[in-house]
Structure 1
Amino acid sequence: MSFVDPALIPLIERIHAARNAGAQLDIRGSGSKGFYGETPQGEAFDVTGLSGISSYEPTELVVTARCGTTLAELETVLAEKGQCLPFEPPHFGAGATVGGMVAAGLSGPSRATVGAVRDFILGATMLNGRGELLSFGGQVMKNVAGYDVSRVLAGSMGTLGVICEVSLKVLPVAPATATLRFPMSQADALQQLNRWGGQPLPINASAWWSDMLVVRLRGALAAVNAAIATLGGELIEGADAGDFWHGLREHSDEFFVGAKRAVKSGSGIALWRVSVPQTAPPLALPGEELLEWGGAQRWLCSAVPAAAVRDAAARAGGHATLFYSAGKVGGVFAPLQSPLDRIHRELKKAFDPAGIFNPGRLYPGL
């Protein structure tokens, strides 16, 4: 008889009870990302009790943590060893958890250069809709046996099952960092970022807003100093630079605070997250924009109808997600076309045949 972690037993029993009663469960951590995705449905299913760092091997650059472990705790432990989660997952709240980080699949300012959440997931365990504990991947970087389901969990919004534990690749903190800013228009900023992208520069993150381009350099001290001399611009000193990138990551800076205030005003304004190729020209939509990821992520605060935003994103070769809004009219995520829609529904059926977990959170009817 296989061993079952005692901490999982209450969760398994709750899943069995829900399945027998035909009930649905809304998987919750701290709720810091409760605004994201479609409106939550079902009975609250708190998984924050499943917490703690299971193992950490600094020399192997691997950490394994339970779903209810707070990101603050995990990042503190990593920092003590001079390591970090390089994709800079946003917290959006003091109690943000590892499980919520994976389920939401959101990454911070450095995503374009280091990779997304899913790129750092080595393995995971999860409870499916039958209350069975499944294990995928492992704790080594070359584990490629079977389907890479652990990475599919990133951005799944809890629709496939309860993420119990995750093994993550971590990296050393860069020895040097610097932030530069350059006054320029959006069109000029996009052209400049594309030119720099073809050069061996240690650019780690970028942001453009209100005719100001800000770039973060990270890497070896010699490389960062050489890049400063090459790029020019105005150097932003340590504390101010750190505050800027933290505000961008946590949506607590001036642009996002203003966007959230506008959304709450009842004027029909929404904040869109538009994903397009870095080489795409300006979207030419009314509203205020902030660009990240070398131009690949464009935040649009606008009252433009959902269909118009999605049409503009599609013409640019991308898609649009409704991030902050007073309602969910028009859907949050870009509608899926076949065969992607069929793949999503088959995955849901395989892992959660009774439709217990987070119904409709990713797409209505899923």
Structure 2
Amino acid sequence: MKFLDLFAGIGGFRSGLEMAGNECVGFVEIDKFARQSYQAIYDTEGEWTAHDIRTVRASELPRADIWTFGFPCQDISVAGKQKGFAGKRSSLFFTVTGLIRDLEEKNRPSILLIENVKNLLSINGGWDFLKLQIELDEIGYDVEWDVLDTAEVLPQHRERVYIVGHFRGRSTRKVFPVIRSSREIDNGSNTVNTITTRYGDAQGAGSYISESKSPKIGVKQVGNIVDTGNFNNPQRGRVYDPNGQSPALNCMRGGGLEPKIVVNPHRFNKGGVKSISPTVTAGSYKDNTFVTEKMRIRKLTPLECWRLQGFTDEQFHKAEKVNSNSQLYKQAGNSVTVPVIKAIADRMGYNDNRQKTSTQSCVSRK
């Protein structure tokens, strides 16, 4: 099937849908740095594109079976001001549905694939999510949704709500629940839920982060290297045991918000790391490592963060050539998780008894 990639970011939707055999016909992304990564990673030559969804007219849009859009979450996230659909950014959801209203019914996409933070279900007492359902109903879509955790396929605890809209009369397949018989997801060139990375410390020894091919259970915070009483964002100093899951990646703006792990924790404490002093009294960064009086701590690298979202190393290195580390961190945190999209896409398509047109192809259910 053909799809249109709205609020495209670095192409998490695109990677997952293409892995399931679908074809991208165009994309919209306003952030110039995300566009640079997107165009470096994918073959976009000749595709329709636009920068700002607010300036797009329905008549410009290429025909597509699927529209994907992880519309901005800043007004919905528990970390934001929680204005919900009253906010300027998250209300862009209605900009997309406005474009659909302007299309003749025969030209409307058969499937909508939408992603946002879990808080969308409950913000403003659940009224905003009800507004979303009413809006989709009014433009002709029956909806289903589920909360899926990236930890099912990758060692990152990241719960997001995924919504699928089915245009009435097109006989599209029910998607949820998504049930997997195996946690191993093949991303073409490598198993993406293996985020093993080699890191050489000052002694020349090495430690591994998440060596296992199966997701670890639980996020294990072992301490904080900032004084949480005098610092307005304790997340900046949180330190995690590498034997647990990563916390949910965010856009990591302002520096210092990258997830931090203990290097070789068992070398410092045979029973495992029990605690870390809440305030660092001595230490310095060297080669991405913070050395305290008792142990060595390091930030996850941009590559590791991209792996935690299911991107291949090849994709990361293409983006790395056109963007700074700060942008690469931000882009990973803002992305959807590729293998989760792939799992959903594997179940999307038309019922087998529906006659396909020459421009549509069925995605077989696995």
**TM-score normalized by structure 2?**
0.26
Question: Higher strand fraction: Structure 1 or Structure 2?
Answer: 1
TM-score by length of 1: 0.26
> Is the helix fraction higher in 1 or 2?
1
